[in-house]
Amino acid sequence: MCAEFWAELIYLYNSDLDCIGVEVVVPDRADLVIFKDNTRKQPYAVIECKKNDITDAEFNQAVEQACGNGAWAKFRASYVMVVAGGTRHAFDFTEKYAVLEREQNIIGDIPAEYGKLEEFKYI
């Protein structure tokens, strides 16, 4: 599952390959971490990958694991996501939300291209 989503991060989210960490030690283990740049010092998003068809309780446990890894003092990432087959939940942990929030900060997806809007040149 992680390999599939890793490919999505590159081809659909336009994440830079050098900015994606796999099995990053937090001291816990984060499956995938998208860093803001290739120095890999500032996490942008933390993704926890689980197999398809897990129970709701297992999925909720994965949410807490991902939020613990991404939003607390460990990483301070802006976004957290849990992927289990077709089931996906993403959370906004920017300064708009408290670190223990799990409902008001649910978003449809993590922003592609690090949340940067495409620039256009006008003549």
Q: Where do the domains of the chain lie, and which CATH numbers do they carry?
A: 2-113 (3.90.1570.30)
Maximum CA pair distance of the chain?
55
List, for residues 73-94, the tens digit of each pLDDT value.
667 899 999 999 889 999 999 8
**Phi, psi (degrees; rounded to nearest 5) at 61:** -65, -40
Q: Is 104 exposed, middle or buried (0-12, 13-18, 19+ CB in 10 A)?
A: exposed
Cβ(55)–Cβ(75) below 8 Å = no
* pLDDT 10s digits, 1-48: 689 999 999 999 889 999 999 999 876 789 999 999 999 989 999 999
Residue type, 114: Y
Average of pLDDT values for 43-66?
A: 93
Among 6-20, 45-59, 106-120, the range scoring the smallest mean pLDDT is 106-120
Distances (CA, A) of 24 to 20, 40, 116: 10, 11, 24
Whether residue 122 is predicted with pLDDT greater than 60 in this model: the reply is no
In this prediction the pTM is 0.85
Using the structure block, give the residue that is written with the tokens 């590159």.
10
Tell me: pLDDT of 119 over 60.
Answer: no
**What pLDDT, on a 0 to 100 scale, did the predictor assign at position 100?**
85
User: In one letter, which amino acid is 84?
Assistant: A
What is the per-residue pLDDT across 61-71, written as a single tens digit (0 to 9) for each? 999 989 888 87
Instruction: Name, in order, each residue with C-beta under 8 angstroms of 75's C-beta and a sequence gap of 6 or more.
Output: 26, 30, 33, 43, 46, 69
CA 30 → CA 20, 45, 123, distances in Å? 11, 10, 45
